[in-house]
Amino acid sequence: MSSYKGRITAKLVSNHYWCPALAWLKVHGPGIAWSPPHFTAEHARLIGYDDLIGSILRDAVEKLAQDCEITGIYREKRLWSSALRVSGSIDALVTCRDKNIIIEAKLRHPRRDDPAYVQAGVYMILAEHNDYRGVEAYIASPENIVKVNNTWIITALKEIRETHKTLSMNSPPPPKRPSITCRTCIYRRVCPYS
């Protein structure tokens, strides 16, 4: 039974960018509830995971909003687009008088082709669809803050279309990445390509 109802999330779009089979299996595959055995909710509380994300976001807001007049700061701001059938929760949205800043917090510095850039691109699109103007997006990690180039918006739009197309299929498409990345995938036992 398919759970695809025509609506997707920004995270699913970024999963599709990494591996279309992964996105398809997340929606159509068996429900796999997984968390690494070494990282549970209790561990997250003990090591202060939420505090770490909060700290990353606080530092980013301080650095990025220095030269703008802040009119609002929203944590886990939920946005959607009926036209694109996409939704997502932005880690932080800082509204200023002349611009809007999206901040996506990550625990590690993103690689050059990291799916986090696609996710941020989707958030930029969602912000525009929800009448936020002058949108800039940044990925903040403990190491640094990286501005998301506007070309990722084009990639995000393409991935949104491709994700809808993939999820409408009867079987998963082949992965985009080398099979070595399949070794760590939680769907490797049910994926026909691993």
Q: Please determine, for residue 57, whether its predicted confidence score (pLDDT) is greater than 50.
A: yes
pTM listed for this prediction: 0.87
Q: Please determine, for residue 131, whether its predicted confidence score (pLDDT) is greater than 80.
A: yes
Average pLDDT of the segment spanning 49-74: 86
Instruction: Please report the pLDDT score of residue 176 as a whole number.
Output: 83
Instruction: Name the residue with higher pLDDT: 173 or 31.
Output: 173
Convert the pLDDT of each residue in 116-125 to its tens digit.
999 999 999 9
Average pLDDT of the segment spanning 139-143: 93
Buried-exposed string 33-49: b where 16+ CB fall within 10 A, e elsewhere: eeeeeeeeeeeeeeeee
Instruction: Name the residue with higher pLDDT: 176 or 9.
Output: 9
Convert the pLDDT of each residue in 30-45 to its tens digit.
776 544 444 445 555 5
Instruction: Please report the pLDDT score of residue 35 as a whole number.
Output: 44
In the predicted model, what is the mean pLDDT of the chain? Answer: 87
| CATH code linked to domain 8-184 | 3.90.320
